[in-house]
Amino acid sequence: MRKGELIFKSLGMIPKYQFELPSNGSEKRFSLEAPAADEAWPSRLTLVHNNELLGVADSEFRRRGSYLIWAGFGGLVISGLFLFFVSFPFYMPLSFWTIPAFALITLPFAGAFLWVAGKELKRYIVYPVVFNRRTGNVHFFSIHDGQPVTYPWRQCIYCVVPKRNGGPEGSYYELRGYVLNKRHGGVMDSFSIGEEAINVGRSMGGFIERWFSCHYEYVRAFMTLDSIDGLDAPSEEDYISLKPSFERSMNMVQPKVESTSLIVRSLSLLMSIVTVIPEFLGGVGHYLCCKYCKVPQWSQEIIEECGPEIVLSNR
């Protein structure tokens, strides 16, 4: 792992276990053959779906842009404080030597914030994974160099792993596929599949386990069943856009809660009021990333195997 990746991992900007499996065995592994759940749910981050292909975005897609807006805002605020402080010697009895002192105190922090924002802007807008049931292959973009790679579906293992600590509210988890080096051990590559989920507490509970089990079962059934007629197709709301309106970006950052429970809807409304400013800034960041970040490009070989449906664009 490169130095920059270690920094991003410590900041929570990249998933905790994309380069390795948890050493304490906290992951939940799924079987390629046995059903993982009694229901199969399509991902709410679907890119493409037809009789042969299932394309899904990575678990970071919903929060893409949050580091851009927060780090950029922090960098601009600190830079503004620096300009404010350096004006003091011109109208107050302070030595001009205070200007370098203010620079040493503020500019490194401003530079660090703006560096993080710039790194976020240079990342791909999405890291998709495509499952091809006709060929039995899975296509994704490598965690090492960002280039498209292909592996057989059955060469991968699929796990629910901790993603990041979420602070007092609990811990985040994600569904991730791993390509293991059978000869030397360790992880050769990995890819994220669909949404993240947060669990109140520090260990994976029953709801979170069932959530990911049903989502994995959809992928497993899609790749292994002779006919997928029994699988529900993703609804219109399950598809994501790389050219979203600002309203859709806001909804992507904070999805609407659909529940008949008055308690759940009331709590959701309360949380929306409390987090209105972070949600708004997150929506702005997501919109800007969708508009200006790079879009990953599949190789010609993968496009020929899967078809033009997998080609991504935000223009």
Residue of 158, 100, 168, 95 whose CA lies nearest to 129: 158
What tokens appear for 4 in the block?
């920059």
Residue 260 within any structural domain of the chain: no
Q: Which domain holds residue 88?
A: 68-120
110 and 132 housed in the same domain: no
Residue 242 within any structural domain of the chain: no
At 300 the pLDDT is 96
pLDDT, averaged across the chain = 83
Residue 215 within any structural domain of the chain: yes
Residue that finishes a domain, picked among 214, 230, 246: 230
At 48 the pLDDT is 95
Identity (one letter) of the amino acid at 217?
Answer: E
The contacts of residue 293 (CB under 8 Å, 6+ apart) are: 64, 121, 122, 123, 124, 125, 314
171 and 73 housed in the same domain: no
Identity (one letter) of the amino acid at 110?
Answer: A
At 126 the pLDDT is 94
144 and 47 housed in the same domain: yes
Q: Convert the pLDDT of each residue in 75-97 to its tens digit.
A: 888 888 888 877 777 767 667 67
Q: Please state, in angstroms and rounded to a whole number, the distance separating the CA atoms of residues 284 and 295.
A: 18
At 116 the pLDDT is 85
- 276 band by pLDDT with thresholds 50, 70 and 90: low
What secondary structure, in 3-state letters, does 194-242 show? CCCEEECCCCCCHHHHHHHHHHHHHHHHHHHCCCCCCCCCCCHHHECCC
Neighbouring C-beta atoms of residue 8, cutoff 10 Å:
19
49 and 97 housed in the same domain: no
Q: Please state, in angstroms and rounded to a whole number, the distance separating the CA atoms of residues 16 and 166.
A: 12
59 and 78 housed in the same domain: no
135 and 216 housed in the same domain: yes
Residue 130 within any structural domain of the chain: yes
At 239 the pLDDT is 93
At 168 the pLDDT is 47
Residue 203 within any structural domain of the chain: yes
The answer to whether the CB of 202 falls within 8 A of the CB of 171 is yes
| 165 pLDDT higher than 70 | no
184 and 149 housed in the same domain: yes
Top mean pLDDT of 42-46, 94-98, 207-211 is at 42-46
Q: Please state, in angstroms and rounded to a whole number, the distance separating the CA atoms of residues 22 and 222.
A: 27
Residue whose structure tokens are 């600002």: 246
Supply the pTM of this predicted model: 0.84
Q: Convert the pLDDT of each residue in 210-264 to its tens digit.
A: 889 999 999 999 999 988 998 999 999 899 989 888 888 877 776 655 545 555 5
35 and 114 housed in the same domain: no
At 263 the pLDDT is 56
Residue 295, CB-side half-sphere exposure with 13 Å CA sphere: 14
101 and 209 housed in the same domain: no
Identity (one letter) of the amino acid at 159?
Answer: C
| 71 pLDDT higher than 60 | yes
At 212 the pLDDT is 92
162 and 42 housed in the same domain: yes
41 and 157 housed in the same domain: yes
- 17 band by pLDDT with thresholds 50, 70 and 90: confident
- 140 band by pLDDT with thresholds 50, 70 and 90: very high
The answer to whether the CB of 170 falls within 8 A of the CB of 199 is yes
Q: Please state, in angstroms and rounded to a whole number, the distance separating the CA atoms of residues 138 and 221.
A: 14
At 183 the pLDDT is 77
Residue 220 within any structural domain of the chain: yes
CA dihedral sign, ordered 300, 302, 304, 310: negative
Q: Rounded mean pLDDT of 156-161?
A: 92
At 269 the pLDDT is 60
Strand partners, 190: 178
At 253 the pLDDT is 73
Q: Please state, in angstroms and rounded to a whole number, the distance separating the CA atoms of residues 121 and 305.
A: 30
Q: Please state, in angstroms and rounded to a whole number, the distance separating the CA atoms of residues 245 and 191.
A: 27
Residue that finishes a domain, picked among 190, 211, 230: 230
Q: Which has the higher per-residue pLDDT, 85 or 159?
A: 159
72 and 219 housed in the same domain: no
Neighbouring C-beta atoms of residue 32, cutoff 10 Å:
13
Q: Please state, in angstroms and rounded to a whole number, the distance separating the CA atoms of residues 166 and 150.
A: 32
Residue 85 within any structural domain of the chain: yes
Residue that finishes a domain, picked among 230, 256, 276: 230
Q: Rounded mean pLDDT of 124-140?
A: 96
Residue 197 within any structural domain of the chain: yes
Q: Rounded mean pLDDT of 114-139?
A: 92
Q: What is the DSSP letter of 103?
A: H
How many distinct structural domains can be found in the chain?
2
